[in-house]
């Protein structure tokens, strides 16, 4: 029997591990040389896929149509590859069991490993129970908890779990991720607002591009008719 390809799915929680989502996108081409497939072409794709799975499109200001099919697209790319797959959807740590099952359905037939990256003092017992039950085997659930979780250390730890080295995959040019976490000062709140504004601008560009593609396709179909 052929050995199943592995998928290492990072699901958060939001915080130190947010860098993983951005780093996988930034180093997507380089990862291929290390035997790793990273299906996501942008952080917006994984963000929208997470929103779709959680059914939170309205809360984020999207229509259902704008997020529909995002997760399926990532899954199709994962299936097309031939190497170990890595994905990061850091909004999904707190997903319910039905939402987790829906997510994993798209990866049926692949050997899914789930990676959690909590803060040193964060209680993740409930998350471990839900995700552990979903992947069924304890060796397929990885809890990466570091005493000093800097982006570089978290990125390195994730690479070790997934089977690739990060020495050649630096973070200097990786865009700073947007995190959703408790804020402890006014300055921190201001920085968070700035990060969210950047995410909104990015999503607006994605939506504008999608609109252009839809209009172009509609025009093409009209000329054919």
Q: Which two tokens stand for residue 130?
A: 């839900």
Q: The tokens 């958060």 sit on which residue? A: 12
C-beta separation of 105 from 134 below 8 A? no
Q: Which residues of 89-122 are buried (b: 16+ CB within 10 A; e: fewer)?
A: bbbbbebeeebbebbbebbeebbbbbbbbbbeee
pLDDT at 212: 72
Q: Which long-range contacts (CB under 8 A, 24 or more apart) does 181-187 make?
A: 181/14, 181/15
CA distance 134 to 114: 10
Question: Which residues are within 8 A (CB) of 21 and not within 5 positions of it... i.e. 6 or more apart?
Answer: 10, 40, 43, 46, 88, 89, 90, 177
CA distance 18 to 177: 6
CA distance 214 to 148: 46
Positions in the chain short of pLDDT 50: 180-184, 188, 195, 198
179: exposed, middle or buried (C-beta count within 10 Å: 0-12, 13-18, 19+)? middle
- Strand pairing of 111-116 and 6-12? parallel
C-beta separation of 100 from 131 below 8 A? yes
CA distance 40 to 22: 10
Return phi, psi of residue 176, to 5°.
Answer: -65, 125
pLDDT at 217: 72
pLDDT at 181: 45
Q: Which two tokens stand for residue 142?
A: 């990885």
pLDDT at 61: 79
Which of the 8 DSSP states describes residue 138? G
């Amino acid at each position: 029997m052929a050995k199943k390809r592995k998928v290492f799915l990072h699901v958060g929680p939001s915080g130190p591990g947010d860098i993983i989502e951005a780093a996988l996108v930034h180093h997507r081409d380089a990862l291929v040389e290390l035997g790793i497939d990273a299906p996501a072409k942008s952080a917006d794709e994984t963000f929208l896929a997470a929103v779709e799975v959680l059914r939170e499109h309205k809360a984020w200001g999207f229509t259902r149509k704008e997020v529909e099919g995002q997760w399926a697209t990532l899954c199709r790319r994962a299936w097309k590859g031939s190497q170990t797959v890595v994905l990061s959807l850091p909004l999904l740590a707190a997903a319910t069991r039905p939402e987790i099952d829906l997510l994993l359905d798209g990866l049926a037939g692949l050997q899914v490993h789930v990676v959690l990256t909590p803060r040193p003092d964060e209680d993740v017992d409930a998350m471990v129970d839900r995700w552990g039950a979903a992947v069924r085997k304890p060796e397929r659930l990885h809890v990466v908890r570091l005493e000093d979780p800097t982006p570089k250390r978290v990125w390195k730890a994730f690479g070790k779990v997934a089977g690739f080295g990060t020495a050649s995959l630096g973070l200097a040019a990786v865009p700073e991720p947007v995190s959703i976490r408790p804020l402890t000062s006014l300055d921190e709140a201001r920085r968070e607002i700035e990060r969210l504004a950047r995410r909104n601008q990015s999503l607006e560009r994605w939506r504008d591009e999608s609109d252009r593609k839809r209009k172009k396709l509609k025009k093409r179909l009209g000329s054919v008719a």
